[in-house]
Amino acid sequence: MGLPHPQRLRRFGARVAAAAGLVLLGGCSSADQEQIRRLAMPEEATDRAPMIYDLWVGGWIAAIGVGVAVWGLILYASFRWRRRSDDEVPIQTRYNLPIEILYTVAPIVMIVVFFFFTVRTQDNVLEPVAAQDAHEVTVVGAKWAWTFNYMGEEAVGGQTVHLAGTPADLPTLVLPVGEPVEIQLSSPDVIHSFWVPSFLFKLDVIPGRDQAFSLTPTQSGTFVGRCAELCGWQHTRMLFNVVVTDRATFDEHMRELQDAGQTGALLGGRDAERVSGINEPEAGGE
């Protein structure tokens, strides 16, 4: 009995691969399938997020193109210059200047292209909005929780109100949908990182350095946020929520903070390490 024909083997392999792919996809939930279609990125929730998503997709396309080219060259060389049945050794080339120039120049060109598109996207994402048109929120990342300061909100007569969280009581950042927001980042102690996955964006919170970004929420809902920097032993509990809602609900939240006496800005200080319920001073002590 002879060996199977190579063409039959290829057809059989293609059918097996297709069947395996269908089985894997069939075992995924609709959410998983959406994640696969979006290349593991969540749906964009701000006006800046699509720029980052486009860069992400472009990176995947470039990576696939490079992979196909590299594997194609490897397979071509393997078959084109494979050892023949006459035992004749293929020509051994020690130096090939054109090839060496190619594999030196090609990576440099790729890096320059990646760098250009990355910087262009970064500049567009970090483009500030006019201060008079934006809600200003000062976010303080301290050991080990977040504080949100809403600076000079009209709903409370131009006052600043705040909401401070703890690792046991996660704070919620409330933003109005369809309205620009400027977020100022501050830290009194160590480096943190403000990250909302649905914003497709994160920015380090560095002590002594002003960091800021602007965005306009485009999708109502509740989103998770976290610290993306390994900031210390309570890093995993530096979580928060983001609620994007209509302007009326946002204004009502501002008034609730004012009525609760949570006025003024909390920017941290020498007591930033003191967290309620974790390292409160003992009775009788400082």
What would the pLDDT profile of 23-70 be if each residue is shown by its tens digit?
555 556 676 676 677 777 888 899 999 999 999 999 999 999 999 999
**Contact status, residue 199 vs residue 45, Cβ threshold 8 Å:** yes
| Residue 270 confidence (pLDDT) above 50 | no
pLDDT category at 261 given cuts 50, 70, 90 is very high
Task: Average the pLDDT over each of 122-126, 202-206, 220-224, 278-282 and give the range with the smallest value.
Answer: 278-282
What would the pLDDT profile of 226-246 be if each residue is shown by its tens digit?
999 999 999 999 999 999 999
pLDDT at site 22? 56
pLDDT category at 269 given cuts 50, 70, 90 is low
Question: pLDDT: is 222 or 20 the higher one?
Answer: 222
**Contact status, residue 173 vs residue 243, Cβ threshold 8 Å:** yes
pLDDT at site 284? 47
Interior/surface letters 253-283, b for 16+ CB within 10 angstroms, e for the rest: bbeebbeeebeeebebeeebeebeeeeeeee
